[in-house]
Structure 1
Amino acid sequence: MNNNIEHGQIKIADEVVGIIAGLAATEVPGVAGMSGGLAGGIAEMLGRKNLSKGVKVEVGEKEAAIDLYIIVEYGVKIPDVAWQIQESVKKAIENMTGLNVIEVNIHVQGVNMEKEEKKEDNPLRVK
């Protein structure tokens, strides 16, 4: 049996990579949601159906670069949340697609102050 036989190409759409990144990011504690940009100077929070709109993806043959536009919960340590997002997104994309993620850039677009949580509910909250 010849192991060098090429079966064809697999092309993963940028939007698929964007959805994976958006889902991985929103699962991180301290992330209120993805941002669709600034409307009237205020960050617009996207619903779960529009996650990929808060993500910019550049996909090559074997590599990907991701830019995420997020809204964080009030009181969290933003550098800690950003690091966790980077790790979570990199792991999710590499595991699901086989692409090598070369960078995950985090753009904090706003702070969600609507819901108050108890400090012990969120391990990333500033104490």
Structure 2
Amino acid sequence: IYQNNCSMCHWETVSPEQIRDIRKMVKEGKKPPFKAPPMSEVSARVKKFYPSEREFVNFVKDYITNPSKDKGVCLPMAYKIFGVMPPVGKNMSEDSKEAVAKWLYYRFKMSWEEFMEKHPH
């Protein structure tokens, strides 16, 4: 499901070196090599606000169907660089949305604090 619905915009993960290079590109006014934050960062950020599996899954299912800056949890810079994602969930079954949300929850173990320590902004 990730490959078919998410990977064209979200890389799965990025290294600290890639983050550093991407930040340099953005400071120079260039676009990053992907259209949305990496899934590892998305997972860590959403878990900061929705730590339980059920809260996380419910948020992701709703957000990918009806995304908005108001309900999003991204850092302001992410919205500035990438904008708000398109409503890809509108074309997905409930089972597919549930599956991708659970994959996102369990695939990445890092907390937001750990992510920020490894990839300081």
Give the TM-score, by structure 2 length: 0.33
Which structure has more relative contact order (CA 8 Å, sep 6+)? It is 2
Structure having the larger proportion of residues in helix = 2
Structure having the larger proportion of residues in strand = 1
Give the TM-score, by structure 1 length: 0.32
